Structure 1
Amino acid sequence: MTSQSFEISYDDARIRASLQQLMALGRDQSKVMQDIANKLEQSTRQRFISQTSPDGKKWLPSLRAKLTGKRTLILDRHLLDSVAHDSGRNFAQVSVNRVYAAIHQFGGVIKAKNGKGLRFRLANGDFVIRKSVTIPARPYMGISTQDENWILKRIERAINEAADAR
């Protein structure tokens, strides 16, 4: 299977400062990072249900979703089901393993490489051929304000636990 990757980095001074406080207390951050990664995976999955980006903006519905009244990006659940998390001593991450993940996250134009064009079936069953298709961005990965607040509270709890253990 062909794979493709993209990275969204989130560097927040408040989160970084809180993590440095935790490190200064000599605590292993693995459990905190595991909790953060798990929370971010849950938030990412919830965005497919709520159809909203991390900044709270509603996704533009796909033509299929408009015609059928169903949700965008979850027809077969492959993208949603590929959302996973990982963590370690000093990292928390969420990933997806679908080659088309980036085009849905960032949007873009898909152009035909050869032949007459891109051939695909519309929601009404008709087939069409197009030289290019524009996919609007529907960000599902990222850290929302609610996520950031949760992360800060989780780190604060770990700092308090570490201080109490001294």
Structure 2
Amino acid sequence: MAGISITVSADDLVTAGLDGLVARADDMSGAMDEIGGMMTTSTRHRFEMGVDPDGNPWPPSLRALAEGGQTLVDRGHLRAAVTYQATAARVRQGTNLVYARIHQLGGEIKRQARTQTIHRRLYADGRLGERFVKRTARGAVATDHAVGAHTITMPARPYLGLSTADRAQAGEILADWLTGAW
């Protein structure tokens, strides 16, 4: 063969490919950030649908039944507080709201006996209204009432977690990251 030639062996290609793969596997923060974003989107979708990661409907809350609203979505604070942290090797999703755990896992809330102040309207004829009013409302009168100790049982309404589709999508994100297609 006249001129010049170069020879590349399969060993050279495999070594270079593996070196690149190892380098990308050392810091997967980009992929973890992408997975965290996907998890947040999926969790917000679950709030819209009222389902857990497996697609099972949440038990309806008394407030949602009484007001015709959505379970776990009164003012949207819980949904808005779900965030994630991505590192080079993992992603962690959660919220810092104190009531988030009881909604995710369920459980019992033990309430101590206490005195509760309520405000009702006092009408001109001396009758006390049956409905609660704001303490600043015109004609509002404060009365104290004893509330006995009681236990509230909250059913679990999981909103955090990965569905089967989420796991598959996370696997695709990782595969794309590792192969350099991302």
**Which band: TM-score by shorter chain?**
0.7 to 0.9
State the TM-score, normalized to the length of structure 1. Answer: 0.72
Kindly report which structure 2 residues correspond to 1:2-81, keeping only aligned pairs within 5 A, or say none: 24-27=21-24, 28-81=27-80
Kindly report which structure 2 residues correspond to 1:87-126, keeping only aligned pairs within 5 A, or say none: 87-115=86-114
Superposed displacement of residue 160, structure 1: 2.2
Q: Take 1:34 and 1:49, find their aligned partners in 2: how far apart are those partners?
A: 23
Q: Is the 8 A contact 2:52 2:159 kept in 1?
A: yes
1:159 corresponds in structure 2 to 178
Mean Cα deviation higher: 138-147 or 77-86:
77-86
2:151 corresponds in structure 1 to 132
Q: Take 1:22 and 1:66, find their aligned partners in 2: how far apart are those partners?
A: 58
Q: Take 2:172 and 2:20, find their aligned partners in 1: how far apart are those partners?
A: 16
Q: Is the 8 A contact 1:54 1:143 kept in 2?
A: yes
Q: Take 2:19 and 2:34, find their aligned partners in 1: how far apart are those partners?
A: 15
Query: Over the residues paired in the alignment, what is the CA RMSD in angstroms?
Result: 2.9
Structure 1 residues 54, 22: closer, same or farther in 2, change over 3 A? farther
Q: Take 1:38 and 1:91, find their aligned partners in 2: how far apart are those partners?
A: 13
2:122 corresponds in structure 1 to none
Mean Cα deviation higher: 153-162 or 35-44:
153-162
Q: Take 1:23 and 1:101, find their aligned partners in 2: how far apart are those partners?
A: 41
Q: Take 2:61 and 2:77, find their aligned partners in 1: how far apart are those partners?
A: 16
Where does the alignment leave 5 or more consecutive residues of structure 2 unmatched?
A: 1-17, 119-130, 133-146
Bigger strand fraction: 2
- One-letter code aligned to 1:59: W
Which of residues 168, 176, 179 in structure 2 aligns to 1:149?
A: 168
Structure 1 residues 49, 69: closer, same or farther in 2, change over 3 A? same
Q: Is the 8 A contact 2:73 2:79 kept in 1?
A: yes
Dislocated runs of 4+, deviation >6 Å: none
Q: Is the radius of gyration larger for structure 1 or structure 2?
A: 2
What's the % identity of the aligned pairs? Answer: 35
Q: Is the 8 A contact 2:21 2:178 kept in 1?
A: no
Where relative contact order (Cα < 8 A, 6+ residues apart) is larger, the structure is 1
